[in-house]
Structure 1
Amino acid sequence: MISVEDLTVAYGDVTPLDGLTVELGPDPTAVVGPSGSGKSTLLRVIAGLQRPSSGLVEIDGTPPRQASWRSGGDPRVALVHQDYRLVPFLTVEENLRLAAEVRGEDLGDDEVGERLAAVRLEHLDRDRLPGTLSGGEEQRLAIARALGPGVSVLLADEPTGALDAENTAVVADLLVSLGATRGVQVILATHDASVAERAAVVFRVDQGRLVRG
């Protein structure tokens, strides 16, 4: 459960989030709105990657750990981006192992296979570089990289923005299903109605706040 109370984020004269109060439960949730509406800002605050101007965010009763030069935010939260952010000179397996190492996790061969299977990439040659994969495969690898035993919240910021319609459907269905198969809370920020309709709960950003439906 993620609780947001009177959350405000301001950049000079721009206030993308303004007194936002909402409870985000365990069901797959979509946050919809145009670019610049505050969707990405909300995800970054939940992940501990951005400090709010005021207000409170709690994940299961405790605030997210803030990012510092030593850490990348709250270890309970994983954030998947539109542009994948894979390390281009590392192989599929090396990308998975690096992410696990950063989290303090020792990823064995079986665990590598399990992560790939979780995103339906068990057929993939682990020695391939990200640049040789399709966009849909790269995004699924990025999702696999985000999975881990300590991750309870999976955030996806426009995860299908760079994909065609076929891969958009595959990635959106996969993300929503991970809530049940991995026991993680999934929150998608998107402007794509076909992605949002797959979520159990939909909020739209309206003047810095979230409105149900």
Structure 2
Amino acid sequence: MTLPPVASERAESASRLLNLTLGLHRIQSATPERSDSKPRLGDPAFDGVQVQRQATWLRLISITETFCADRLLDAAEAEVAPDGSPIRGLVWDKASTAAISSWPAMKDAYNSWYGIKPNWAKVETLIEVRNAIAHGLGELTRFQRRKRSSLVTKFNHAGVHLSGNRVVISENNLSDVRDGCSELIVLLDAEVAIRTARP
């Protein structure tokens, strides 16, 4: 029986950051001083609870994205050794930048460089929610509205609800995000270790 690879320091650090982020969110959400009241000035529809949950969601996805990019590039850079040649350095700069330019590009790089093909579906849904938060201030973006029916199905499957075009995040959703991100980190870390192990 082959034992699974030991988690890398980077994976352990990313997993710890996920847990710390969710823990801090829970502490801040439970603080009695937190105000759920509407602001005196500005948008009367402002929902401080949702804004806090959105910020936590963004942070969880950012931690995961950074891990996925760094783990991929660290492994590949060790093989390419771009510092050994100006030509390799130029090729590496272009390839590495393209490989992490977006989630789909990173997914393709993991597959084409190492044959790593995890099921990205869960994380892709989490990223769609992140995009609504980051680019639509908590509402579906114009682009997302064009594919609304497929997104509603994905969001419902992930337990995330829409109120009109507004994303409504629950505390349970945040635990699911942390769990989904953690699963991807552990899986990719182990797969990269196996694919790059020296005999």
For normalisation by structure 2, the TM-score amounts to: 0.27
Question: Over alpha carbons, which structure has the higher Rg?
Answer: 2
Higher strand share: 1
Q: TM-score, normalised by structure 1?
A: 0.26
Give the structure with the higher percent helix: 2
